[in-house]
Amino acid sequence: MVLVGGEGTRLRPLTFLTVKAMVPVLNRPFIEYIIRQLSRHNITEIVLAIGYKPDRITEYFSNEKQLRARLAYSIETQPLGTAGAVKNAEPYIDGRIFAMNGDIFTDIDFTEMLMFHKDKRAKVTIALTQVEDATRFGVVELDSQNRVTRFIEKPRREEATSNMINAGVYVIERDIIKRIPEGKRCMFEHDIFPSLLKDGEPVFGYTTKGYWMDMGTPEKYLQLNGDLLHGKSTQVEFKTRDIRVDKKSNIHPRSKLVGPILVDKECNIGKDVELRGPVVVGAGCQIKNGAVIENSVLWRNTIVGGKATLKDCIVADDGCIDDNVHVEGAVITRMAPNNSGGRYYAREHK
């Protein structure tokens, strides 16, 4: 069994608009990738720890047979942290579990990680991945047998003794859950794992070399979409120059598309439009004549005005970019209802 959830609100402002698990990645809800990857490793009992608009998830996954998994939902009335989320889901737990943070995209081999955990007779096994800058994460030190000896949470550069970090995926034995206080915010990283080391419990680190991305910021979310379009993950069959357009969308013959590009259904791309990949266009988008879009993700029903330019942008559902507007490095969202028919507008300021 696996529990998916816990901390991860750094993707704001996008998660004000939709549940974090439902944020689209290549036009599919992010959580769908996690569920399908788990199913490939015969992990089919999945508990989602959620606390915001659970109906968004339950409605989307009403037909579980498509996923080859059975879903349960553990609702949090307040944020409980990575460990508190597991404690809250305890009624669903009857043995060893996988637990993973809700904003991690990974190609990790869950089967191999579980075998490693069993071979080491560990109480907890922590997936580790290598990054260039470890200061944003928790550094994990190991001995020669891959047993964890120390945690350094978000170290300064001079304190980072390794670039091997906690990847947010764990195998946890059932009795460890007894250590987690009930109804309180509690973190594995700060509270539970250090106490296990102090008590001499066997905690091991499993190193994964597969693709891994913490998409907890808009910048990383944009990078994730781009990486997948460039074929960096085994979960998506895409090549750098691929251009995939749904047959229900229309593209003017004088438009110019340079891959990788993914366009969903019922989109209309006008004359002299330039799409410079990586670009993802959600269902129902309208891109008017002469617009230029580069390294950007458009959610559903976005309108991009004539000769407008978007670069390094994320545009949420129902966004509207006025004619001749240039936007770069922005997250464009509708935070609240307004007088423009419910759309968020990016306008030219003179």
Which of 198, 229, 260 is the last residue before a domain boundary? 229
- Structure pTM? 0.89
Q: What is the pLDDT of residue 248?
A: 97
> Comparing 116 with 62, which gets the higher pLDDT?
116
Indicate whether 251 belongs to any domain.
Answer: yes
Same domain for 51 and 167?
yes
Q: How far apart are CA 331 and CA 329, in angstroms?
A: 7
Token output for 281: 């266009």
Residue 95 reports pLDDT greater than 60? yes
Do 84 and 220 sit in the same domain of this protein? Answer: yes
Check residues 278 and 71 and name the one with the higher pLDDT: 278
Check whether residue 209 and residue 265 sit in a common domain: no
Choose the most confident range, by mean pLDDT, from 71-75, 133-137, 214-218, 296-300. 296-300
69 and 205 in a single domain? The answer is yes
Residue 17 lies in a domain: yes
pLDDT digit string (tens) for 48-63? 888 766 677 778 877 6
Quick one: 28 and 87 in the same domain?
yes
More confident residue, 274 or 131: 274
Residues 133 and 35 in one domain: yes
CATH of the domain at 252: 2.160.10.10
Pair of tokens at residue 271: 């004359």
Same domain, 73 and 175: yes
Statement to judge: residues 292 and 167 lie in one domain: no
Sign of torsion over alpha carbons 259, 333, 300, 323 = negative
Give the CATH number, domain containing residue 173: 3.90.550.10
Does residue 276 lie within any of the structural domains?
yes
Let me know whether 248 and 313 are in one domain: yes
Report the run of H or E that residue 198 belongs to, with start and end.
Answer: helix 193-198
Instruction: Read off the tokens for 15.
Output: 């998660």
Burial class (CB in 10 A: 0-12, 13-18, 19+), 291: buried
Averaged pLDDT for residues 153-177: 83
Best-predicted range by mean pLDDT (7-11, 57-61, 165-169, 309-313): 309-313
Looking at the domain assignment, is residue 237 inside a domain?
no
- Whether residues 149 and 281 share a domain: the answer is no
Do 6 and 81 fall into the same domain? Answer: yes
Q: Which amino acid, one-letter code, is at 278?
A: P
Least confident of 5-14, 55-64, 277-286: 5-14
Residue 33 lies in a domain: yes
Phi/psi region, residue 301 (left: phi>0; alpha: psi -120 to 50; beta: rest), is: left
Instruction: Please indicate, yes or no, if residue 235 is contained in any of the structural domains.
Output: no
* Residue that terminates a domain, selected from 229, 260, 284: 229
Shared domain for 197 and 58, answered yes or no, is: yes
Q: What angle do CA 144, 150, 156 make, to 5 degrees?
A: 120
pLDDT digits (tens, 9 = 90+) for 236-277: 999 888 999 999 999 999 999 999 999 999 999 999 999 999
Handedness of CA 238, 332, 167, 135 (dihedral sign): positive
Range of the structural domain that residue 314 is part of: 243-346
In a domain, 236, yes or no: no
Residue 336: pLDDT band by 50, 70, 90 thresholds?
very low
Note the pLDDT tens digit of each residue in 296-335: 999 999 999 999 999 999 999 999 999 999 999 999 886 4
340 inside domain: yes
Give the pLDDT of residue 324. Answer: 95
Cβ–Cβ under 8 Å, residues 50 and 57? yes
The chain-wide mean pLDDT, for the chain, equals 87
Looking at the structure of the chain, the number of domains it has is 2
Task: Return the pLDDT at 266.
Answer: 98
Q: What is the dihedral of CA 95, 125, 75, 214, to 10 degrees?
A: -150
Contacts of 262 (CB under 8 A, 6+ apart): 26, 27, 229, 238, 244, 279, 280, 281
Last residue of a domain, one of 229, 254, 276: 229
